[in-house]
């Protein structure tokens, strides 16, 4: 039987289902997966926009396309679940958004390129300084990476841990505390990502980076434009630095190295 005919024969059921969905929506209890599915087109348009931005900045990045694993992760992670309720309509614009505590959720383009610069894959281990909303950690977890992430603002750490658990990102471990100190008992890490601006490289984190590992960090004066920097640790423990884009991040807080 043609699908359209079958749907027509069940028009009464369709009306009932539509009424039920409308009731759920008005009551604020529309199932999470239904809301997430409703945002899938917005996520795809966002990924298309990011791809265009990557091509436009290829000379600075060193690549002209998103890796398929990064693209798939950006397309799958529901960013609207990581922003405060009043901002959810803005979740799929390519811009940072305030999340409270003086912190922001990073621009999706930045999340995508930082994820790609780490050059990590399934089974690799990444440390993140600055959990924030948990969105960056979720993107890495969607790439099948094990993520250890620290957030100095306890309320943000708790909220991020709750959101990640609710959405099933069980590859992420969240710790409330000073991220500058790293996560020594989980080291060494294949990659380290710092999601706040720092004036210098965190010594504790360099020590916890495996040979061949990569550290991605916005460096410079927190009150000015910074440079997104990529460091690769060679077999002798030396760091090779490459400066990329001009960026603007909130400053790192905590007991920075003297």
Q: Active-site positions?
A: 106
In whole angstroms, what separates CA 257 from the centre of its chain? 26
At 21, phi and psi to the nearest 5?
-65, -40
The number of angstroms, rounded, from the C-alpha of 39 to the middle of its chain's C-alpha atoms is 17
The CB density around residue 39, as the number of other CB atoms within 10 Å, is: 17
Buried b (16+ CB within 10 A) or exposed e, 84-99: eeeebeebbeeebbeb
Q: Which helix (H) or strand (E) holds 99?
A: strand 97-100
Only one residue has tokens 């050059």, namely 119
Please name which of 206, 230, 207, 208 lies closest in space to residue 218, comparing C-alpha atoms. 230
149, containing H or E segment? strand 146-151
- Cα–Cα distance between 117 and 119 in angstroms, integer? 5
Q: Give every CB contact of residue 91 below 8 A, 6+ residues apart in sequence.
A: 39, 42, 79, 80, 82, 83, 97
CA distance 144 to 168: 12
């Amino acid at each position: 039987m043609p699908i359209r005919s079958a749907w027509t024969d069940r028009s009464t059921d369709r009306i009932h289902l539509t009424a039920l969905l409308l009731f759920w929506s008005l009551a604020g209890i529309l199932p999470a997966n239904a809301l997430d599915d409703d945002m899938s087109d917005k996520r795809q348009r966002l990924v298309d926009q990011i791809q265009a931005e990557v091509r436009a900045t290829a000379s600075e990045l060193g690549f002209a396309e998103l890796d398929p694993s990064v693209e798939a992760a950006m397309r799958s992670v529901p960013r609207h679940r990581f922003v405060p309720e009043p901002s959810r309509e803005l979740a799929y614009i390519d811009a940072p958004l305030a999340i409270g505590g003086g912190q922001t959720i990073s621009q999706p383009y930045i999340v995508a390129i930082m994820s790609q610069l780490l050059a990590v894959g399934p089974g690799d281990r990444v440390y993140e300084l600055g959990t924030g909303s948990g969105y960056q950690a979720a993107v890495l977890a969607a790439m099948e990476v094990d993520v250890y992430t620290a957030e100095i603002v306890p309320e943000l750490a708790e909220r991020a841990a709750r959101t990640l658990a609710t959405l099933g990102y069980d590859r992420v471990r969240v710790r409330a505390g000073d991220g500058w100190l790293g996560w020594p008992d989980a080291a060494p890490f294949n990659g380290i990502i710092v999601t706040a601006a720092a004036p210098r490289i965190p010594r504790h984190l360099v020590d916890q980076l495996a040979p061949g590992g990569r550290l991605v960090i916005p460096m410079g004066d927190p009150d000015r434009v910074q440079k997104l920097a990529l460091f690769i640790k060679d077999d002798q423990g030396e760091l090779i630095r490459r400066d990329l884009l001009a960026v603007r991040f909130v400053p790192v807080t905590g007991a920075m190295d003297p």
